[in-house]
Structure 1
């Protein structure tokens, strides 16, 4: 993946980018945006691990899903806007910096969201991000008469929903808050679809595929970082490190395999031709969330080996195996299955089932799960080579 360098203009018209532009790659600003947003991802994963370690699984998963929605949706909207427009002038860069600042406010509010179910700071950060994002649609409306319907609906819809998010903070009943959150999240998801009825977003399929790939890389890197720190801290807690060695080896195999599986194919050609951009884009909420959860699960297992967490071995193992299985299934459903034929279609679903069964293996669960994932990669490579020999379509994992 190549990063392009451009000199910003003081201010320019926000015109639609060429959807067939050759050599369209991510900018340093986009990569910087991703790296800053992953700070909030890391905070959410750390708090999820802490909640699971205390046996508060339902609470932890619920809070994680809520916080991660704010992170993912803000990131996703920026990425699709930038692939369609991105003038890379000074106002655009400043608006991007404001959105980054909002993401850091979200990160600061994560501990209170998990510990006290207080999402006020998270919502403040989210609203900052979204207002800066909506301001960009004003520029699109001004400079593109043919896209004014799209810009008015998308920008206006975002502004209205932000007012509702602020009003939601005056709802104190837990059940009412949860229901209202679900409704507002659904409305957020419907805004782009509603806006698209008034005009088509001119996105660049290969660029947006690269943007998602870069964020997947960064999330997997955060997973490795979180797991490494947890293993390091646990090593100082006891002398017998055999279980930690098994965890480290299995965790690396899972992450390496996840990378291999996700990047086995060029998915840019899929978007709009063989799969729905909405389905693919929205489905990555689960891809990103499960990838980050693998690192949180590794933290749980690392601390469990010290005996300081009062949870069962199966629950500790499931903290890794469940998100791994979900990652495999969703990546298969969104993109990998389109490149498979025959028996190769069953490799990843079968692997996901095998990974879940590994939860029963106690301290060996993560290692066995990693071996299952590595075996899936090997099967994919063999299927591809067999396909090239027989002249059929390649079917790598």
Structure 2
């Protein structure tokens, strides 16, 4: 199987000092998920009910796994390598479809969302297996286990897209639970075993910086929306409606 892997070394090399800085392509990638968070707020705003809250929560967890799993992958793969950069750009395109379909995910956009999400998750893991197969057998095995779980969850996402109402919500909740429980089992797969904590070489400072920068980008987007809303208001003296209208725009 390793003979099918990338010949080029695509893993990050150990930093000589400190830790690997977050790259520009990683920040560019994060913009898609800032857009996704905005879309989720629109979804909740249009259905302020218990069902609407559950739907938004399910979609949020899916978006979270898509983003954090990619952040983990770029903790090992070097985004400055051309194949990795192209992979991130491809994920961005799929992520745009995923994000655009979020407000209608429990209506006519369900299949588009499910296919985009399944492609995003399984495609990234398959690429990672290919990227590390020749150079890190332990990581290759880890991602084979992850891919198996994601493939199973993808079936639930896609089948759920053909259902309606509470049936879709129930099946997608099961998919979210499956993906969320997988790490606690070590991604156990019969015949492949389970991953151990020692198998994961995580650069914590890179991940923490990535999360911090994502929050800053998201806050920046909120400031832009607030400013754009304020600029559309009539400035005839002190406008008492400015604070409320500007804050509502964040939703």
TM-score, structure 2 length as denominator?
Answer: 0.79
State the partner residue of 1:141. 133
Aligned in 2, Cα 1:117/1:157: closer, same or farther, shift over 3 Å? Answer: same
Match of 2:191 in 1: none
* Alignment partner, residue 221 of structure 1: 220
CA deviation profile, 1:209-243 (whole Å, cap 9, x unmatched): 0000011111111222233334444x249987224
Q: Provide the rounded CA distance (Å) in 2 between the counterparts of 1:153 and 1:188.
A: 12
Q: Which residue number corresponds to residue 198 of structure 1?
A: 195
Contact conserved, 1:137 with 1:155, CA < 8 A, in 2?
no
Separation (CA, whole Å) in 2 of partners of 1:87 and 1:169: 33
Question: Residues 120 and 192 from structure 1, CA distance in 2 versus in 1: closer, same or farther, beyond 3 angstroms?
Answer: same
Aligned residues: 237
The 1:227/1:167 distance shift into structure 2, 3 A limit, reads same
1:1-397 counterparts in 2 under 5 A? 12-15=8-11, 17-18=13-14, 22-49=18-45, 51=46, 56-86=48-78, 88-113=80-105, 116=107, 118-139=109-130, 140-172=132-164, 174-193=165-184, 194-195=186-187, 197-199=194-196, 200-233=199-232, 235-236=233-234, 241-245=239-243, 298-299=247-248
Distance 1:213 1:121, change over 3 A: same
CA distance in 1, matches of 2:216, 2:33: 13
Aligned-residue CA RMSD (Å): 3.1
SS for the counterpart of 2:8 is: coil
CA change 1:232–1:93 in 2 (3 A) is same
Q: Would you say the 8 A contact 1:33–1:100 is kept in 2?
A: yes
Shift of 1:59: 4.6
> Which ranges in structure 1 are unaligned for 5 or more consecutive residues?
1-9, 249-297, 303-318, 320-397
The structure with the largest helix share of the pair is: 1
Check whether the contact 2:40–2:60 (CA below 8 A) recurs between aligned residues: yes
- Whether contact under 8 Å (1:113, 1:119) holds in the other structure is yes
**CA drift at 1:247:** 7.0
Residues 110, 198 of structure 1: CA spacing in aligned structure 2 closer, same or farther, 3 A cutoff? closer
Aligned position for 2:3:
none
> Which structure has the greater CA radius of gyration?
1
Question: Moved runs in structure 1, 4+ residues, more than 4 A?
Answer: 236-240, 245-248
Greater RCO (CA < 8 Å, at least 6 residues apart): 2
Residues 102 and 125, structure 1, Cα contact 8 Å, conserved in 2: yes
